[in-house]
Amino acid sequence: MPATTVTTTHALKEWALAIEALERGKTIMLIRKGGIREVGNRFQVAHNQVLLYPTYEHQKSDLLKVEYALTAPPVSPGWHPETVPISSWAEITDILPVSDQSVVQRLLPHHIWNEKFVSDRLHWKPNQPLFVLLLRAYLLPQAEVIPYRQDYGGCRSWIDLVDPISLEGITPVLHESDYNQRVSEIRKLIEEPG
């Protein structure tokens, strides 16, 4: 839970289905390589405590595991909603680089993407690792619906919202011991020799 922050504007953009999985406790993991508009074309964590901003940019059913692909709404390229519901906040507790294909295979049960997508991401810019982010998600008491703005769009991970959103009354999705157990399992999979 945030130590002193009562409101924030810092947000991490992620596929709407990935945020939904975080909010339901189905995953604690996101995977990043770096967006086109990232500083130096490399992924960097700008803030460890962020609102989760759902996006449909690049969200495609053929990049998801079957159970998630079935619920992925078809979206035209460049489409965005007029309003965006912000319903969660997260603390990024772990940032783990992964460069080994065998680790990618071991992590498959812990996220929403299919094997082909994650392998393709690993091999894109092969000199840069994938970054596994582990997030402890919290739900806002109610979703804050904000207007979409052009400057929130594009291939980047981090945005700052125009208006701050209150974090008062947030509740964790997972009990701390459950979250810590999942972190431990994932760390073990990453650290175990190939």
pLDDT tens readout for residues 13-38? 999 999 999 999 999 999 988 654 45
pLDDT digits (tens, 9 = 90+) for 35-67: 544 555 567 788 899 999 999 877 888 889 999
pLDDT at 5 over 70: no
The number of angstroms, rounded, from the C-alpha of 127 to the middle of its chain's C-alpha atoms is: 22
* Fold exhibited by the domain 7-191: 2.30.130
Question: For the chain, how many residues are written?
Answer: 194
Average pLDDT over residues 97-126: 92
Residue 51 CA from chain centroid, whole number = 10
Specify whether the CB–CB gap between 158 and 47 falls below 8 A: yes
CA-to-CA distance for 124 and 129, rounded, in angstroms?
Answer: 9
User: Residue 42 corresponds to which tokens in the numbers above?
Assistant: 């490399």
Place of tokens 């772990």: 94
N-terminal to C-terminal alpha carbon distance within the chain: 35
Using the predicted structure, report yes or no on whether residue 105 has a pLDDT greater than 80: yes
Asked if pLDDT for residue 166 goes beyond 60, the answer is: yes
What share of the chain in percent tops pLDDT 70?
92
Domain borders along the chain are 7-191
